[in-house]
Structure 1
Amino acid sequence: MIVFRPSLLALGAALLLAGCAGTPARPPGPLEINLVALNDFHGNLEPSKYTYTPPGATAPRTIQAGGIDVLKGALDAFRKDDPDLLFVAAGDLVGASPAVSSMFADEPSIEALNRMGLVASSLGNHEFDQGPQELLRQQHGGCDSPRPAKACRYAPDFKGAGFTYLAANVVDARTGKNLVPGSRVVDVKGIKVGLIGAVLHDLASVTVPAAIQGLDVRDEAAAINAQLPALRAQGAQVFVVLIHEGGFADQPYDEADCNTLHGPIVAIAKKLDPAIRLVISGHSHTGYLCKVDGKVVTQADAYGHLLSRIKLTLDPVTKAVEDIQVRNVVMAPDAFTPDAGLSAYLADVRAKSRAELGKPVARIAGALSRHEAPSGESPLGDAIADAAVAATREQGVQIGFMNAGGIRKDLESGEGGVVTFGQAQAVLPFGNTLVVMDLTGAQLRTLLEQQWDRPASSGASILAVSGSLAYDWDGTQPPGRRVVPGSVKVDGVPLADDKVYRVVANNFLAGGGDNFPAFAQGTRRADTGVRDLDALVAWLQKHPEMGAAAVAAPQRIRKIR
């Protein structure tokens, strides 16, 4: 038997402690927080056409990308790498949606995002499409809706969003209180992450006025920065901005550290507190991974075509962000195993909507494209503008207008040129009504010049016009003088500044939307109550030749230089 004397045990313990004291403690490794971001989903439960150039390729590729089961499959794969992954979004999750979602008040889209584990999203302009009451119903659930024919029709007990809508810069003008929370704190791996939301300050330009009546939309950067003290008081150490405003880049969707970003998001990012290192943006439907004044600014295109993968590396002691790595990942159908649960859910939604969506409404000679020629004109835009005039001709209307941003899809047809209700509704999903008004020739001239006066955008926004209006424009001239003098004609007769013309546009444009304030000056205004979609369907029924090459592009608008 071996006997350990107390003196030897003490000596051994002392030597052991001395050895430990002489070995430097190993510093803890870096901390990593992983995020995945989505923006401008617009209720696209199903995959849709996406054209992109894969890395290393020389030619673009067109695929059917996205779909809720593929998105969930991708998130499941990413969560295998990090179960604590934070899934966030930058607005326009609903609204302007395909019929399979919009016919049920977008409730299936919100439920799908719940099942994907979305944590938070900024508000987007389309969350306001039906006004604050519906926005708050989509957040909290219930069936009390301004759309009683759609709400709770998919399921009788709509629970609302399991994620949090955020908007620091939208407040009740009377009380000064936020419509929804401006920010929230999320604990990720023991690190408190402050998520701050905002929507574009120029919300009035992209929203029907009645939808934001009584709301005050404040400067984005100032409202975001004002959230930091409260977040710090809650222990937040990392700050992430989710903002529904964006820009455009001249580099590929997947090129990290891009330096060509331009548009409204740039000025906003430059005004943000230096503690904010990551800005997840939306609204401009573009893929980019850029840097602005040391901040990483991302966007993931639209419709679920891309997901942004973002890795934050933090100092283990100070918790300061040391590095940010980002990738935009294409949601290709063969890249991820679709989630079986959401595949079954999508099949159920399709089954419940199939009877209505599959109803034939017209027959055409071929598909009508919304793709714009260099002049800004498109075959589908022409048809929609003509349809609006035809629907209001008895009210003396001479000229019709349509905004390109309101045309969400090409008009496609099936066998024998048959157009279904679902295909037509995908083109004009907003349910806008037609508004007629009087404008003078001088006001019409101003209106046309406003196509290039875009304070909230980086490029022109050419209006589709009915066949009764024709004009030329010169891109070498400065904004305000681009319409060629003497070229504007109504029914072949030169426009007269002092003459009054009866015009029609959807209620969004008629309120001055899309930065066309000249529409708001119209007199003798009347909302006809006729939906733009119904007008288009009636027009197609009377013009089965639409889509034929001979009538596809009559050149109402000419760009001479």
Structure 2
Amino acid sequence: MNFRHFLTLLILPAIAGCAAGPGTRSAAASSTVTVGIAAINDFHGALEPPKTSVVVADGKGGVIQIPAGGSAYLASAVDSVRQKYLNHLTVAAGDLIGASQLSSSLFLDEPAIGVLNRIGLDFNAVGNHEFDRGRDELKRKASGGCAQYSALKPCRLEPFKGARFGYLAANSVEADGKTLFPATALRSFGSGKRRVTVGLIGLTLKETGDLSSREGLKGVHFTDEADTVNALVPGLKAKGAAAIVLLIHQGGYTKGDPDPSACPALTGGIRPILDRLDPRVDVVVSGHTHWSYVCDYGQYNPERPFLLTSAGVFGQLVTDIALDIDPAAKRVVAKRASNVIVQSEGYATRIGRIEPKDQFARFAPRADIAAYVARYVDASKAEIQRPVGKLAGEVKRPGGDSSWNGGTLGNLIADSQLAATRKAGAQIAFMNPFGIRAPHTLTPGADGTITFGQIYAVQPFTNGMVTMSLTGAELKAALEEGLDDTQPKQLLSASQGFAWTYDLTRPAGSRVMAMTLDGKAIDPAQTYRVTVNSFLANGGDSFATFARQRDAAISPLTDVEAMEAWLGGPALRAVPAEERASEAAK
């Protein structure tokens, strides 16, 4: 995907006329206390450099690609931000774990927590991927211990002591009405008359229940983001918070070429939240979309001049935020931010190497983090490199995380799940494109070999598979749910033999035009056996029809095991390149 990396410096005076002339410092400025904040989001257990780039404009109509990311480099970049400030915080806006690199995921993301502890994270807002392995496993991440809540065994390399940072979960509410983790936190700096307090609120997007396994949530529900924040702001102010920082796992997108000076055409789920937010919030650190930006939101809504930031994905950037606080008035008088590229080591691509660039800051990998990560990388190598089968060519989900189409990779996954569940009567299988993760591609070796590391990387959730009975009418309803106007659109990838057409110009609920199985039209009244992963079977991504699970049969295999079995035959597995979902002719 194309990440927007804005190396923007915003200075937002709170009151007109307070700026001093060049080379001078105003009385108001000299009386302020500055608090620096290093912010990240969507780390996704990226222990090693992810071999992806930050893209910035080169000023000549082109772009520059800067290799970035990797936890040892991220640690040094965070250190460089903190060293600028006497008073500082390190915060995150969720999805620090889940959909992780294999060297982290194979060990239940315990090493990702270990890295973040060593970096010195203070607070993290729970994101949807924090719930990937369920509520109880997330609680273990926070408190430590070796209790087993998933198929993988915990504490395989060392005892797990849990997070040394605080989780914030203001809108993650359990059945007894209490939040899963604290909703807010306060952190004070200085003393006497120059003592200032920063209040923090952390929360995830309200759709997290649709993005995570409902079985694993065990009664946790998610309240409206703006309503939740607005109810908490007065209490933080009453406790003396001079600045309020919101950490929210929801974000936006921008359009246009990478721009070092602005945040153009901001869209996405964050905007309607911000437009309802209490204007006493000073900074909004966002995430979820894997985009990066630094925005003066007052340009979009003058009544809400928030400083809005996001640091992309995989630790490729860290946001350097500074708040100048008047301790007497207990308010922020100026705020500014910039995204710092976590430039790391070069890497090879099919069109050449991407090398570090001297015009951008270089960071040495922090030795303690590098040594810690190396233990887990070494322990995972045998499993990562283990051959699982052969594939006749490359399959991929075109467009990456932002794509609503699973492509040939989605087809391959659906085919593998159909084959694995034939004994349960399966006739059709579907795969959701948003369940296909980076690198979104399976590229076989010269002899066609595919490794376990490759198939795990694109399906890191170890979902189960559920085969259920659906009528033809229910099949149509499920496909329509992927095309409605209440969520990002998704074309479900179908297994071989099933084809369907759609027309997005038609009203929601009537966009599926035709469906066939082995060339025969689907009968609305006939019952079919359909396989989906356990995430979809629990209503994930708002596919409520699958959650009915009528006559359900649960496979003993996981989705990754099904893929391994499908590729493990004696011959090359063909690339499923045919178009199974197509737009109706205009």
Task: Encode CA deviations 1:318-358: one digit per residue, 9 max, x unaligned.
Answer: 24223332222332214312111111112121112222222
Change (3 A) 1:407 1:543: farther
Q: Which amino acid aligns with 1:184?
A: A
TM superposition shift of 1:218:
1.7
| Alignment check: 8 A CA contact 1:254 1:289 kept | no
Alignment equivalent of 2:199, drawn from 185, 189, 194: 194
1:303 matched to 2:314? The reply is yes
Task: Encode CA deviations 1:11-45: one digit per residue, 9 max, x unaligned.
Answer: xxxxxxxxxxxxxx955344322212111111111
Matched with 2:10 is none
Change (3 A) 1:308 1:208: same
TM (norm. structure 1) is 0.88
SS in 1 for 2:57: coil
1:556 matched to 2:552? The reply is no
Q: Distance in 1 between matches of 2:528 and 2:27?
A: 80
Question: Rg larger in 1 or in 2?
Answer: 1
Matched-pair identity in %: 40
1:481 matched to 2:510? The reply is yes
Matched with 2:489 is 460
Task: Encode CA deviations 1:344-391: one digit per residue, 9 max, x unaligned.
Answer: 112121112222222221222333212159983411111000000000
| Alignment check: 8 A CA contact 1:372 1:378 kept | no
Task: Encode CA deviations 1:121-177: one digit per residue, 9 max, x unaligned.
Answer: 10111212222221111111111231374311121x211101100011122212x22
Q: Where in structure 2 are the equivalents of 1:90-489 lying within 5 Å?
A: 90-147=93-150, 149-155=152-158, 157-174=159-176, 176-189=177-190, 190-251=195-256, 255=260, 257-258=262-263, 260-290=265-295, 291=297, 292=301, 293-315=304-326, 317-333=328-344, 334=356, 335-371=362-398, 376-409=405-438, 410-414=441-445, 416-455=447-486, 457=487, 459-484=488-513, 487-489=514-516
| Alignment check: 8 A CA contact 1:375 1:557 kept | no
Change (3 A) 1:503 1:204: same
TM superposition shift of 1:51:
4.7
Q: Distance in 1 between matches of 2:503 and 2:495?
A: 20
Change (3 A) 1:253 1:131: farther
Q: Where in structure 2 are the equivalents of 1:498-513 lying within 5 Å?
A: 498-513=525-540
TM superposition shift of 1:452:
1.9
Change (3 A) 1:257 1:31: farther
| Alignment check: 8 A CA contact 1:365 1:545 kept | yes
Please list every run of 5 or more consecutive structure 1 residues that lacks an aligned counterpart in the other structure. Answer: 1-24
Change (3 A) 1:251 1:310: farther
Structure with the larger RCO, 1 or 2 (CA within 8 Å, 6+ apart):
2
Task: Encode CA deviations 1:240-282: one digit per residue, 9 max, x unaligned.
Answer: 0011122322255665552522222212112221110211112
Q: Which amino acid aligns with 1:278?
A: V
Change (3 A) 1:438 1:425: same
Q: Which moved more, 1:46-55 or 1:428-437?
A: 46-55
| Alignment check: 8 A CA contact 2:41 2:93 kept | yes
Q: Distance in 1 between matches of 2:325 and 2:86?
A: 18
TM superposition shift of 1:85:
3.0
SS in 1 for 2:396: coil
Q: Which amino acid aligns with 1:386?
A: D
Task: Encode CA deviations 1:84-138: one digit per residue, 9 max, x unaligned.
Answer: 3321001111112222111111110001001111100101112122222211111
SS in 2 for 1:348: helix
TM superposition shift of 1:52:
4.6
Change (3 A) 1:461 1:375: closer
Q: Distance in 1 between matches of 2:259 and 2:370?
A: 28
Change (3 A) 1:47 1:543: farther
Matched with 1:43 is 45
Task: Encode CA deviations 1:402-444: one digit per residue, 9 max, x unaligned.
Answer: 1111111322444533222222211111010010001111111
Q: Distance in 2 between matches of 1:403 and 1:219?
A: 25
Q: Which moved more, 1:187-196 or 1:56-65?
A: 56-65
Q: Which amino acid aligns with 2:280?
A: A
Change (3 A) 1:491 1:188: farther
| Alignment check: 8 A CA contact 2:483 2:508 kept | yes
Q: Which amino acid aligns with 2:480?
A: E
Q: Distance in 1 between matches of 2:424 and 2:271?
A: 45
Q: Distance in 1 between matches of 2:63 and 2:581?
A: 29
Matched with 2:3 is none
Q: Distance in 2 between matches of 1:62 and 1:436?
A: 44
Change (3 A) 1:509 1:181: same
TM superposition shift of 1:235:
2.3
SS in 2 for 1:523: coil
Q: Distance in 2 between matches of 1:113 and 1:406?
A: 25
| Alignment check: 8 A CA contact 2:196 2:325 kept | no
Please list every run of 5 or more consecutive structure 2 residues that lacks an aligned counterpart in the other structure. Answer: 1-25, 345-355, 357-361
TM (norm. structure 2) is 0.85
| Alignment check: 8 A CA contact 2:74 2:316 kept | no
Task: Encode CA deviations 1:500-523: one digit per residue, 9 max, x unaligned.
Answer: 111100000011110111212341
Q: Distance in 1 between matches of 2:236 and 2:561?
A: 49
Change (3 A) 1:475 1:544: farther
Change (3 A) 1:68 1:83: farther
1:86 matched to 2:117? The reply is no
Q: Distance in 2 between matches of 1:32 and 1:256?
A: 23
Q: Distance in 2 between matches of 1:268 and 1:113?
A: 28
| Alignment check: 8 A CA contact 2:143 2:163 kept | yes
Q: Distance in 2 between matches of 1:446 and 1:179?
A: 34
Q: Distance in 2 between matches of 1:178 and 1:478?
A: 39
Q: Distance in 2 between matches of 1:396 and 1:63?
A: 50
Change (3 A) 1:197 1:342: same
| Alignment check: 8 A CA contact 1:404 1:463 kept | yes
1:73 matched to 2:104? The reply is no
| Alignment check: 8 A CA contact 2:34 2:85 kept | no
TM superposition shift of 1:542:
2.6
SS in 1 for 2:83: helix
Task: Encode CA deviations 1:461-508: one digit per residue, 9 max, x unaligned.
Answer: 221111121122223333333223xx3211111111111111100000
Q: Which moved more, 1:301-310 or 1:501-510?
A: 301-310
SS in 1 for 2:307: strand
Q: Distance in 1 between matches of 2:413 and 2:99?
A: 17
1:516 matched to 2:543? The reply is yes
Task: Encode CA deviations 1:170-194: one digit per residue, 9 max, x unaligned.
Answer: 22212x2221100111124542111
Q: Distance in 2 between matches of 1:518 and 1:26?
A: 63
| Alignment check: 8 A CA contact 1:37 1:300 kept | yes
Q: Distance in 1 between matches of 2:266 and 2:549?
A: 37
Q: Which amino acid aligns with 1:431?
A: T
SS in 2 for 1:36: strand
